[in-house]
C-alpha cells in the first residue's frame, strides 16, 4: 500500500497516520499512528502526566478515512474535508510512545460528501 504521504494532502507535522495496514478502497481501512513521545504537544498536555489529546486521535482517524476515500479512483485528486463528528468517546488514554490503532468504514460516499464510522 502507498505510504500515507503519497495519498493524503497532509504533511508533517500534521501528518499523523504512520501506516495503512489494510485497505478496501472507498470502503474501509485500518492503520496506526505510533507516537514517539517527543511530539511537542505532550509537553503541555499535561505537564507531568502527558496524554495524547482526543482531538488529535480524532484527526488521525479522519486522516485514515481520507486515505480510504482518496484511494477510490473516483475520488482521486479531490480534497476531503472533515465536516463533523457524532457520538465521540475516548475509551482510554494514549501515552507517549504508544501506538494508536485505527479502523474506519465508509458508510456512504458521493461526489460531494461522505459518511464514515471508525474507532481505535
Residues tagged active-site: 45
16 CB neighbour count, 10 Å cutoff: 23
- By CB neighbour count within 10 A (0-12 exposed, 13-18 middle, 19+ buried), where does 92 fall? exposed
| Signed CA dihedral, 7, 12, 15, 17: sign only | positive
Say how far residue 7 (Cα) sits from the centre of its chain.
13
Amino acid at each position: 500500500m502507498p505510504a500515507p504521504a503519497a495519498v493524503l494532502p497532509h504533511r508533517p507535522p500534521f501528518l499523523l497516520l504512520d501506516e495503512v495496514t489494510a485497505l478496501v478502497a472507498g470502503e474501509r481501512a485500518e492503520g496506526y499512528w505510533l507516537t514517539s513521545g517527543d511530539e511537542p504537544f505532550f509537553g503541555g498536555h499535561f505537564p507531568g502526566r502527558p496524554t495524547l489529546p482526543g482531538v488529535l486521535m480524532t484527526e488521525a482517524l479522519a486522516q485514515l478515512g481520507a486515505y480510504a476515500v482518496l484511494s477510490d479512483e473516483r475520488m482521486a485528486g479531490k480534497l476531503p474535508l472533515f465536516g463533523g463528528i457524532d457520538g465521540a468517546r475516548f475509551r482510554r488514554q494514549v501515552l507517549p510512545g504508544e501506538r494508536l490503532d485505527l479502523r474506519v468504514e465508509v458508510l456512504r460516499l458521493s461526489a460531494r460528501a461522505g459518511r464514515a464510522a471508525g474507532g481505535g
